[in-house]
Structure formats: C-alpha cells, structure tokens
Amino acid sequence: MKKILFVASEVVPFLKTGGLADVAGSLPKYFNKKEYDVRVILPKYQTIPEEFKNQMAYCSHFYMDLAWRKQYVGILKLEYNGVTFYFVDNEYYFSGSKPYGRIHEDIERFAFFSKAALSALPLIGFRPDIIHCHDWQTGLIPVYLKDSFQENEFYHGIKSIMTIHNLKFQGIWDMKTIKDITGLNEYYFTPDKLEAYGDANYLKGGIVFADYVTTVSETYAQEIKMPFYGEGLDGLINARSNSLYGIVNGLDYDEYNPETDSYIHKNYSKETFRKEKIKNKRALQQELGLAADDKKFVIGIVSRLTDQKGFDLIDYMMEEICKEDTQLIVLGCGEEKYENLFRHYAWKYSDRVSANIFYANDMSHKIYAGCDAFLMPSLFEPCGLSQLMSLRYGTVPIVRETGGLKDTVEPYNDYEGTGTGFSFCNYNAHEMLNTIQYAKTIFFKKKREWNKIIDRGMEQDFSWNNSARKYEELYDRLLGK
C-alpha cells in the first residue's frame, strides 16, 4: 500500500476560494483504494462550517518550535467520503474570517502550518511515502524535509511533490523576516535556493527541493518555461524541466451532471439535449429578464472579473459582442472597472445583457445549462474548470489557446467535422470577436454541425478518474515501483 499525504491550504468542502480546493478535496477519493492510501491535512480555520467541526475527533496536541517561538499544535481528524482529513488547530493563526489575509501574516501562518503538518506525522501514526504539496503555502515542506527533519529517522526517504496551481502567487517577503520566522539557516538563502531578486520566495523553495514538480495542464507546464508566463521563475522551471509534469485537473462528474443536476430547470443528456436543453435557455432568459427568444445566441461568462481572464478584450469589443442577435449573461465579481462595464451594458441593453455581479453556485449551473456558448478569452489559464463544465453541459466553449484551455478544447474544423469548441491564438480583441462571429455563423446557418460539436463535447471525459490515473503513474515512477 502506497501512502500519500496531500497538504493544502484549502480543501473542498471545508473551505474554498479557488480551484486548488477542488483538487485537494475531490482528487483523493478517486485513487485506487486497494493500492493507495491518500489522506489530506489542512488548517482548522474558524470559518469551516459547524457541521464539519462537530464531527472532528481529537487526535493529539503538542508544542512546536517555530524559530524562537513556541506554538501550540492541535490535530483533529474527520472521515469524509471515504477519505481521512486531518486538521491543524491553532487559534492564533487560523481564527479570522478569511483563510488568507495580509501577505506578511500569511508568510508566518503557512510557515507554521508547513512545519506543524510535518511534525504531526509520527503522532497520527501515518508515515507517507510521498508528501504532495500544493501551491506556495506549502512550499516550505520540501525545504524542512531536507533540513531539520532529517535528524529524525522517521522522515528518512519520504519523497515530495510540489504542484503549482498558479505561478503568479509565490509567497514572497523580505529575507530577514523569513529567516526569523522559519528558523532556516543562511545556507538556504542563496539564489539557487530560496532567494529570488533580493527577497525570499516560498514557492521557489518548494520547486528547488521537491523531487517532482507538477502543474495543472500540459500546456501550462510548457508555457511557464517562458518569461511571459514564468513570473520570474522561468529559469528555475527550465532547470527542473526533467522533473516537471503537467496533469490536467478534473471535474467532479457527480456534482456537474446535466442528467441529475437539481439546480437546472430541465435535466437532459447527450441523447436528449436537442429537445430538452432549450428549455433551460428559455427559463434562464425569463429568470434574468432577457428577451424570450430561442433564436438569440446566448453567451455565458462565469468568472472572476480580472485582467487575467481576458476582460480587457471583452471591454474593447463589448459593443460588437452585444449585437441584436446575441445575449450576454455574466456571473462573478472582481475589479471594479469590469463590474461597472457589465452593469452599464445591462442598463443600456436590458433585454440582451444580464450582469450578475456576485457569485452563486445555483446560478452558475443554470448558466452552464442554459447558454449556447461559453466565453473564456484568458491571458493565461493554468487549467481552468469552467470550460470543462461547459463541455459537460453541452454549452460550446469559445476560448483562447493558452494553458488548460488549449489542452481541453479542440477547435472546430469545418472540413473534417471535428472539434468540441472554438478557439483563437493571439491575445487580440479582433481575433476574439472574429471567433465569436464564426461560432455564431455555425450556430445560425449550420445547426446540424453545431449539434455535432455539442455531441463531441459531451462525450469528453474530464472526470477526476483520468487525472487520478496519471497521478498514480507519477507516484509509482517516483517510488520506483
């Protein structure tokens, strides 16, 4: 039995701010239970719902040195969906209404969490073969593992994997403070280890010291070797390219299933979407006060409203996108300029633009089911889950060819009759608009072709099963089995 420990700062269903939580919470239950014992450790945040807190059982507690500080560490445990979750308890670090706050506080909080997760292992009676770390918050684990923990035989031979969910976030602060917080000696603060451009960088430490480095799509693994996507670490990523792997994220196919989804107006399947999917479109138009018209081309967007997601391109072409034959439905919040952009157009064209400047899970499902197309013109996208959801619901994705979007959406080819969506290559507003217009042409003039694109999209399998098999292969390779 191979033992794997996931360490993550957020985990579904206990706490979620982004896709990292989906990976850490959903992936473990898809491993082959006969061969892999996969468990998860995360902070016991004050904001975890009471229903889960009430089910947690006490495991152990101890006091731990964090440089010159002595800190309490409590360990609790909970079984959920057949997976064992451990929680690191410390009210000083994990009270508060949000999991992340100001970066200088987070730097100390996650140094504590990383060291506590490692220190707890002998007490919970679980010695993993591999510790699978996620994002900068756990970047110190591979470093600590090679440092003070080597004095204890228990830790000898434990391997580590560092997964980058988004290279933009690295956990950077000044060197003096990080030396003081982590207790690591001078040896670790050189340009080939934690030092980067004069500061100390947690994620860099993880990338340097982990046995393998992975990221959440094959294309993103290639992109981050280039300065444009490399966020200042492209040199290091290239140096580690022999140990770098891209494995695309999956989707929880139980939660996102048009046949059983209780949030949507009318359930449908690959066999019945031609007749039933339109009923979701009508219900959505009615609910959001848009013109009730089957012949409108309805584009959906569910996203954080930020530059990364390509909203400056949409801003530039908004008037052209909102033509009379099109309706646009937006769900999400973010930068004020984009929130106000969509509010303005919803006021200007109230029958064809709906701006929902908030996030609601039930509404996101209705948009995936009720729209004709789904727009994601991202500047960069490590993996992206929205395009996987739209494929699952037979809503045709229109994406820019970057990261996970390039890996999961096959562009439509009129001559060969292939493809699951529409895509454009350059980060260019006119190219995006041309692609939207091409998709509209197929939708209006070649309905049979459009339905075949939906057929192929709904046939794709981006469930966690696929990702889990690839991670299993990676674990086996690392353990030489």
Compare 435 and 481 and report the one with higher pLDDT.
435
**Paired tokens of 391:** 């494929």
Question: Model confidence over 270-319: pLDDT tens digits?
Answer: 999 999 999 999 999 999 999 999 999 999 999 999 999 999 999 999 99
> Is 273-460 CATH 3.10.129.10?
no
Across 27-52, average pLDDT: 96
pLDDT the model gives residue 50? 96
Confidence of residue 17 (pLDDT cuts 50, 70, 90): confident
Contacts of 88 (CB under 8 A, 6+ apart): 41, 42, 43, 44, 73, 74, 75, 94, 113, 116, 117, 120
State yes or no: pLDDT of 242 exceeds 80.
yes
Pairwise CA distance, residues 27 & 43, whole Å: 18
Q: What is the percentage of the chain residues whose pLDDT exceeds 90?
A: 95
Confidence of residue 96 (pLDDT cuts 50, 70, 90): confident
List the strands of the sheet with 422-424, edge to edge: 353-356, 326-331, 297-302, 373-376, 396-400, 422-424
State yes or no: pLDDT of 481 exceeds 80.
no
Question: Model confidence over 169-224: pLDDT tens digits?
Answer: 999 999 999 999 999 999 999 999 999 999 999 999 999 999 999 999 999 999 99
Would strands 69-80 and 83-89 be described as parallel, antiparallel, or unpaired?
antiparallel
Contacts of 133 (CB under 8 A, 6+ apart): 7, 139, 141, 142, 160, 161, 162, 163, 206, 210
**Paired tokens of 465:** 């099963």
pLDDT the model gives residue 252? 87
Across 353-358, average pLDDT: 96
* CATH superfamily of the domain spanning 2-250+465-479: Glycogen Phosphorylase B; (3.40.50.2000)
Contacts of 173 (CB under 8 A, 6+ apart): 103, 104, 107, 199, 200
State yes or no: pLDDT of 65 exceeds 80.
yes
> Count of CB atoms within 10 A of residue 455's CB?
15
From residue 138, alpha-carbon distances to 162, 197, 284, 319, 478 in Å are 8, 21, 41, 44, 19
pLDDT the model gives residue 37? 97
Confidence of residue 254 (pLDDT cuts 50, 70, 90): confident
pLDDT the model gives residue 98? 87
The residue ranges of every structural domain in the chain are 2-250+465-479, 273-460
Same fold, 2-250+465-479 and 273-460: yes
pLDDT the model gives residue 51? 96
Average pLDDT in the chain: 96
pTM over 0.85, yes/no: yes
State yes or no: pLDDT of 266 exceeds 90.
yes
pLDDT the model gives residue 452? 98
Query: Which range, of 18-27, 80-89, 309-318, averages the lowest pLDDT?
Result: 18-27
The answer to whether 387 touches 399, Cβ cutoff 8 Å, is yes
